[in-house]
Chains A and B, each alone.
Chain A
Amino acid sequence: MDSDCLSLLPAVCLVLADPKQSPPDDTSLEKLLDWFKELHSQSNGQVLLQHQPCLLEFISSVCTSKTTDPAILSFTLKLTGLLAATTQGFHLFDEGGLLVYVFELEAWGVCDLWEDASVRSGWLQGLLDMLKHQQALGFICGNGLIKVILQLQNDRSLFAACLANQLLVHILNFLTSSNMTSGSDVVGSSESSLRPDWVSASSEIMNAVVEALSSEDCPQVLQGLRLLSLVLSQCGEPIISTLWKDVLVPLEVLVNRGSESLIQTLITVLEAALGTPLLSQSEYKVEELLEAMLGDGNRKECFQCAALIVKLEKCPEVLKRKATDIILLPLQCVSTQPQAEKGINVVLKEQLSQKASCISLLMQSLSSLAQLAHTKYLFEDISVHSITSSVVLLLRMCSGHCPSSLIHINTFTHLIGCCKVQRCGLDTLGALSVYEENLDLRKDIFGVLLDLLQSPDSHATVSMCIFVYCMLLILAASDFLPSKLIDLFPVLEKRMCDLRWEVRDSTLEFITQLTAALISNSGFSEALHTSGMVSVLLSSLADAEGYVRASAVAAVGEAVTASFHQTVLASNSKLLEDALVQMMAILSQDTEGFPRRAVVQAFTSWLKGSHLITALESSLSSVLSLGGSDFDWEVKMHTLELAEVLMEKTLTCCPYAVQNFGSSEVRFPQALIKFKDFGLFDLLFNSLFDCDRPVCEKACALLVKLRTLTAETADLDHCVLVLNVCGNRWGDEVQRRYLNKQQAKASVCVTNGVTGSDEGTDCDLHCSKDISLPKILQILDLDDMQRMLTLSSDHVVNSPRSLMEDILSAAQQSEENIVDCY
């Protein structure tokens, strides 16, 4: 326990209990409660209460005051629950009768404060937190609080109603476990299972559920169902089967009524029932109820039920199969041939004839199919091929192609240009692409995708879905792609000139992914360079939108990488040359962070590959210098990552080597000289004193690594690498730190009566312009810096002490800072 905090606690309690003070910042109370929770989990409430009598005084004073702010009262109720969660804490409260005072409704029911939802939520949360032992249960049952909780179950506040449900389930659970373990609990053993008020409490709750389910009031039914599903999923026997027997009749009525607003919740209840032993006993009719919800596929609601049932994990196969058949109906109906029309039910026809229901039904059908396909839960006797064909047909209809044999002309008009159905259809195709049966449909599918891409009317979000699916298609069958590139590239080029930045950006992202995925496909790389695509990519680097420029940088980066995987051509080096010119311009001039970040990342990825080293040499120092002085700290971070790769590559296997360095002893000093030429040290030292913590942290880590290497190279000649510390910020800082160190050392020496120094050479350091790298690394206390940086939390101080100080200082501040926004 932090003693600083505990010493501040009495003052904080006084401030919070003072009704004249307005409550602190809305987050402070929650954070304070978080701290109490943490304390509570570490030790226990009793220790806290015994050592901090101010807490009891605070709680008592808040609860007796009629002018308490609702926020403070809510906090107090929660705190009381937390502190009374141990039997000892509970007794401390109970001794003075405080607990009854805090939680008894009579105190609140008559008072206006109860009207505030936060007070009711606080009251419920307090009881929920307290209910960790039998005494708490006895308190709740003995004081008639169950009735209040049941009332709150239908509270107008969603939060309070939800908490009430949780609390009721917790009580039921507790009642059951207390019965089971009676005798084992030392404190409550003698009375646990026999207390009549407990028995009546559980029947009160269960009766309330039955009553709610039999009610005519829809919100009440909904709350009852929610509680029932919580009980089913969180309680054990005998609660579940006892309650189920009682609710079965009203539940059957509700299921047969088929009210649309209840479907979702009813399914949730049945889903919970599926996970219980109720499923295996036919008299509990779980399966029967689910089947009744599906009906014969001739009710409006059955489609929604089917969509929910196919998602259920533990659902019996037969039912899932039936639900799948219903799910397929709308799709089959739309794509059906006239001769098959007879079998289609009237409800479905009617639904499809109206635009809103037609679209929602088809979306439901498609997304359920996608889900089934993902889980590979399509049944063997359902033809994946025919489903896929139907989806393709549907997508064609969305693009305005009316099949000659179509019977539902209304449906067709509803679908034209409908992006919602297009998106769902594409998702479903994507999910179905894992099935081999569809291989022969690839050509058709690709045609539809090209059509959609070709159309300038296609919604931007549809384009995104097309690209996702195209990627799947191509990755699944790369042999199929080369022949299609001739068709694909012109369309992509067109979309890269789309008026909408969203489409241009998605297209570039797609090209980047495609290039990366097919890097070893010579046909693709060749097509990329010969089709004129590269020049369109290069021109996208000057796009008006920052996001697009960033994606263009990534695409060009991949194109350059791909080009170097192929035979060296004159066009390849031309591409790199052009790319470098434009990318350097972006890094130095672009007003947005994304493109600049992308440039540095492209360099990092080139450097990671082993082909481009020599070609990049001339640009690397500029990238390190520009990136290191960027005003966006993330650009700086990426630049440091680039520096890290550069260091690794140079110091380890050295693919970077333009000449053979020979042995590692020779190689290290050479590498250091190379680093100096690149300006790597300037970058690292400048970053070490940056105003953004992550940058300093990264630079510090790299310098520590460098220091280790320097130390490991035993006979490193210190004169090999000398850095000029004058005229730059980091140099001043190094000198300042050095002087501070010297002064500290001198004062220690004076105190100890020692004169002279064994570091005679250091004396002149502050006069010197040039200092060797190992010396600088030694002067900077990197370990200490690293420790400090790890400690720092960017000054959003999360410590409880800071929180309490803030509460106290806010209380002293007489002026109200008028609410403002970001």
Chain B
Amino acid sequence: MPDIKVTPLGAGQDVGRSCILVSIGGKNIMLDCGMHMGYNDDRRFPDFSYVTQNSRLTEFLDCVIISHFHLDHCGALPYMSEMVGYDGPIYMTHPTKAICPILLEDFRKITVDKKGETNFFTSQMIKDCMKKVVPLNLHQTVQVDEELEIKAYYAGHVLGAAMFQIKVGSESVVYTGDYNMTPDRHLGAAWIDKCRPDLLISESTYATTIRDSKRCRERDFLKKVHETVERGGKVLIPVFALGRAQELCILLETFWERMNLKAPIYFSTGLTEKANHYYKLFITWTNQKIRKTFVQRNMFEFKHIKAFDRSYADNPGPMVVFATPGMLHAGQSLQIFKKWAGNEKNMLIMPGYCVQGTVGHKILNGQKKLEMEGRATLDVKLQVEYMSFSAHADAKGIMQLIRMAEPRNMLLVHGEAKKMEFLKDKIEQEFSISCYMPANGETTTIVTNPSVPVDISLNLLKREMALGGPLPDAKRPRTMHGTLIMKDNSLRLVSPEQALKELGLSEHQLRFTCRVQLHDPHSDTDTLGRIYTHLKSVLKSYSIQHVPDGTVIVESIVIKVTSSAEEPNLKVILLSWSYQDEELGSFLSTLLKNGLPS
């Protein structure tokens, strides 16, 4: 039986680097190629040697698909394509292709800065890798090769995020990447056709959570910022250049406008401009509200948010600063943090993930004394808040997607094992489909039952109609007979005559022969005559001929009689029939074996 094989190299029962290998219909596809930011050696990348087993990646993989620009989904791409070596096609949506190099570059810059970093890609490698990327549009079916096709669907989550349907013949897999089923401030909700894939591979970050609405978290965030600013404190929000930053900027901008607040908001890098350029360029990827208001006012042109200069950090009075990098481990965000950490009036809001070892990670874990370079200690007195704004589908959303796509099997990735287990049971119960959750390195095999499309010749259909009544009932299976021709990658069912004609073949006759011995004290001619009379009496509805050349013929069956010179009474009756008359032929041989009536 044909099957689909799925092996996660990353994201199998964890929320690390996503990298999932799928084999479908003889094609090998890599879904996402993410990086784990918590390591500073090769462990941050998926181990591609398990994929290839000594061969080159280009020879093994038919394509790579990247679901969105987050580094845990695309961060290992330049390493894979330029350092390990992969020259095949890489697919992603247009916004992902535009934004991906910015984030890769951003991360490269904060990584090469670190000491002891080895084996990391360069700017040139990022560019060369992006040149291999084939961008695609939503709902556009892209033919990777003759057999393999892919199609992208809107996934929400971040600008340009997509779910992908992968199809080979009648087998198909849908990979969700990260998605959310509720619209947020600037993006819409994920959507997919009722495409009934053989397998739906879904993220399950919030597998057991029914998350409070994002509105609540936003309200909380605004309240905290507002209170700090009101009491004259400063708010530091460490962010990465693109993604969460834009969302929070829109949030604050609207709030400042509504409340008529005067405290300055700064963004520390020049990247807002670049990022906003992309949000403007890909306005069709944002939600309806943003698109509608775009004509009157562009949401990404901020009135209250200004560029930051490092001298502003010492200014008295309240302010809000978005600074990079997001993990507070270097650069401007760390510099500002050091200046503001000692004042309890100030606040630090961490909206994203922090790697172990970073200042961000330490203070999120509640450390109040930090050792800076030269063993000087920094007292952390400012308030620290962690706020997750990430847009993933919760348990309800995942179930909703299953209802939408109606998959035959389900496979969970990008989540924690315990939570996945819970959701797996729920899915199996509610939808009566199998649900899998392989760990990294484990292969799940799903047996498929592909339907093979066959063209039927009109003549054959007409003939069948003539035989079986006026019109076939579409809902009832019906047996048809014909000859299947497999030619030029197509299958056609035609009548045997047409098949012979088309293929230039002549029909061969297959005949069965049989000898029956019986004792009959007559001449051969008389015995034959007696056979003729006997058959006439038994097979009344058949036409039986006694041909002068010494044979009796019933349908295609030919009967002859011979006897040996030594024993003239022992007659050998030769029967021969075509395979169409096999039943009759067998019947006659049995009949004659029983002897002739006296």
Contact flag A796-B441 (CB < 8 Å), given A27-B38, A547-B127, A593-B105: no
Instruction: Scan residues 226-283 of chain A and give those whose CB is less than 8 A from a CB of chain B.
Output: 226, 264-265, 268
Chain B residue at minimal CB-CB distance from A790? B115
Interface string of A583-596 (1 = CB under 8 A from B): 00000000111100
Complexed CA–CA distance, A694 and B331 (Å): 10
Note all chain A residues with C-beta closer than 8 A to B145: 356
Complexed CA–CA distance, A28 and B355 (Å): 10
Note all chain B residues with C-beta closer than 8 A to A268: 53-54
CB pair A118–B439 under 8 Å, yes or no, is yes
Note all chain B residues with C-beta closer than 8 A to A35: none
Complexed CA–CA distance, A505 and B416 (Å): 43
Note all chain A residues with C-beta closer than 8 A to B7: 158
CB within 8 A of B109: which of A157, A592, A634, A812?
A: A634
Contact flag A809-B131 (CB < 8 Å), given A27-B39, A264-B55, A796-B329: no
CB pair B38–A794 under 8 Å, yes or no, is no
> Which of under 10, 10 to 19, 20 to 34, or 35 or more describes the interface residues of B?
35 or more
Chain B residue at minimal CB-CB distance from A798? B357
Note all chain B residues with C-beta closer than 8 A to A265: 53
Note all chain A residues with C-beta closer than 8 A to B87: 423, 461
Interface string of B88-101 (1 = CB under 8 A from A): 00000000000001
- Asked if B396 is at the interface of the complex by the 8 Å CB criterion, the answer is no
Complexed CA–CA distance, A159 and B123 (Å): 32
CB pair A817–B386 under 8 Å, yes or no, is yes
How distant is B205 from chain A, measured CB to nearest CB, in Å? 6
Note all chain B residues with C-beta closer than 8 A to A819: 15, 205, 353, 416
Contact flag A791-B374 (CB < 8 Å), given A809-B365, A821-B72: yes
Contact flag A691-B331 (CB < 8 Å), given A158-B50, A159-B441: yes
CB within 8 A of B441: which of A117, A356, A423?
A: A117
CB within 8 A of B147: which of A70, A158, A356, A809?
A: A356
CB within 8 A of A821: which of B70, B332, B335?
A: B70
CB pair A461–B109 under 8 Å, yes or no, is no
Complexed CA–CA distance, A159 and B10 (Å): 12
- Asked if A448 is at the interface of the complex by the 8 Å CB criterion, the answer is no
Contact flag A822-B240 (CB < 8 Å), given A591-B270, A798-B40, A809-B366: yes
CB pair A822–B353 under 8 Å, yes or no, is yes
Count how many chain A residues have C-beta atoms less than 8 Å from C-beta atoms of the other chain. 69
- Asked if A355 is at the interface of the complex by the 8 Å CB criterion, the answer is yes
Note all chain B residues with C-beta closer than 8 A to A633: 109, 113, 331
Interface string of B241-253 (1 = CB under 8 A from A): 0010000000000
Interface string of A502-513 (1 = CB under 8 A from B): 100110000000
- Asked if B304 is at the interface of the complex by the 8 Å CB criterion, the answer is no
Contact flag A26-B16 (CB < 8 Å), given A158-B7, A788-B374, A794-B329: yes
Complexed CA–CA distance, A691 and B309 (Å): 12
Contact flag A160-B441 (CB < 8 Å), given A26-B16, A591-B273: yes
- Asked if A803 is at the interface of the complex by the 8 Å CB criterion, the answer is yes
Chain B residue at minimal CB-CB distance from A158? B441
CB pair B367–A28 under 8 Å, yes or no, is no
Note all chain A residues with C-beta closer than 8 A to B113: 633, 692-694, 794
Complexed CA–CA distance, A460 and B131 (Å): 7
- Asked if A764 is at the interface of the complex by the 8 Å CB criterion, the answer is no
Interface string of B145-157 (1 = CB under 8 A from A): 1110000000000
Note all chain A residues with C-beta closer than 8 A to B388: 817-818, 820
Note all chain A residues with C-beta closer than 8 A to B116: 793, 798
Note all chain A residues with C-beta closer than 8 A to B15: 819, 821
- Asked if A25 is at the interface of the complex by the 8 Å CB criterion, the answer is yes
How distant is A12 from chain B, measured CB to nearest CB, in Å? 14
CB pair B127–A505 under 8 Å, yes or no, is yes
How distant is A425 from chain B, measured CB to nearest CB, in Å? 13
CB within 8 A of A631: which of B269, B352, B365, B367?
A: B269
Complexed CA–CA distance, A647 and B97 (Å): 41
CB pair A157–B357 under 8 Å, yes or no, is no
Interface string of B457-482 (1 = CB under 8 A from A): 00000000000000000000000000
Interface string of B116-130 (1 = CB under 8 A from A): 100000010001101
- Asked if A104 is at the interface of the complex by the 8 Å CB criterion, the answer is no
Complexed CA–CA distance, A423 and B101 (Å): 24
Note all chain A residues with C-beta closer than 8 A to B269: 631
Q: Which of A24, A268, A691, A821 is the most central at the interface, judged by chain B CB atoms within 10 Å of its CB?
A: A821
Chain B residue at minimal CB-CB distance from A161? B441
Note all chain B residues with C-beta closer than 8 A to A821: 15, 70, 72, 178, 352-353, 390
Instruction: Scan residues 535-565 of chain A and give those whose CB is less than 8 A from a CB of chain B.
Output: 547
Complexed CA–CA distance, A661 and B545 (Å): 131
CB pair B441–A691 under 8 Å, yes or no, is no
Chain A residue at minimal CB-CB distance from B71? A822
CB pair A806–B373 under 8 Å, yes or no, is no
Complexed CA–CA distance, A631 and B14 (Å): 36
Instruction: Scan residues 486-537 of chain A and give those whose CB is less than 8 A from a CB of chain B.
Output: 502, 505-506
Complexed CA–CA distance, A815 and B327 (Å): 19
- Asked if A30 is at the interface of the complex by the 8 Å CB criterion, the answer is yes
Note all chain B residues with C-beta closer than 8 A to A794: 113-115, 329-330
- Asked if B544 is at the interface of the complex by the 8 Å CB criterion, the answer is no
How distant is B536 from chain A, measured CB to nearest CB, in Å? 55
Note all chain B residues with C-beta closer than 8 A to A159: 50, 440-441
Contact flag A117-B442 (CB < 8 Å), given A264-B53, A788-B373: yes
- Asked if A51 is at the interface of the complex by the 8 Å CB criterion, the answer is no
- Asked if B554 is at the interface of the complex by the 8 Å CB criterion, the answer is no
Interface string of A455-470 (1 = CB under 8 A from B): 0000011001000000
How distant is A675 from chain B, measured CB to nearest CB, in Å? 24
Contact flag A591-B277 (CB < 8 Å), given A26-B38, A156-B443: yes
Complexed CA–CA distance, A360 and B50 (Å): 23
CB pair B334–A461 under 8 Å, yes or no, is no
- Asked if A145 is at the interface of the complex by the 8 Å CB criterion, the answer is no
Note all chain B residues with C-beta closer than 8 A to A792: 373
Complexed CA–CA distance, A593 and B274 (Å): 11
CB pair B386–A809 under 8 Å, yes or no, is no
Complexed CA–CA distance, A567 and B497 (Å): 84
- Asked if B310 is at the interface of the complex by the 8 Å CB criterion, the answer is yes
CB pair B147–A691 under 8 Å, yes or no, is no
Complexed CA–CA distance, A806 and B371 (Å): 13
How distant is A544 from chain B, measured CB to nearest CB, in Å? 10
- Asked if A729 is at the interface of the complex by the 8 Å CB criterion, the answer is yes
Q: Which of B16, B146, B147 is the most central at the interface, judged by chain A CB atoms within 10 Å of its CB?
A: B146
Complexed CA–CA distance, A593 and B53 (Å): 39
Instruction: Scan residues 766-816 of chain A and give those whose CB is less than 8 A from a CB of chain B.
Output: 788, 791-798, 802-803, 805-806, 809-810, 812-813, 815
Contacts A796-B355, A805-B367 supplied; 4 other A-B pairs, CB < 8 Å: A792-B373, A794-B114, A809-B366, A820-B390
A-B contact pairs, 22 of them (CB 8 A): A24-B356, A30-B39, A158-B7, A158-B443, A159-B441, A268-B53, A591-B270, A593-B105, A691-B331, A691-B332, A691-B334, A692-B330, A794-B114, A796-B327, A796-B358, A802-B357, A806-B356, A818-B390, A819-B15, A820-B352, A822-B240, A822-B352
> Lowest 8 CB-CB distances: which A-B pairs, in order?
A27-B38, A691-B335, A159-B441, A158-B441, A809-B365, A792-B373, A502-B131, A794-B330
Q: Which residues of B contact A (CB under 8 A)?
A: 7, 14-16, 36-40, 43, 50, 53-55, 70-72, 75, 87, 101, 103, 105, 107, 109, 113-116, 123, 127-128, 130-132, 145-147, 178, 205-206, 209, 240, 243, 268-271, 273-274, 277, 310-311, 326-332, 334-335, 351-353, 355-359, 361-362, 364-367, 371, 373-374, 386, 388, 390, 416-417, 439-443, 489
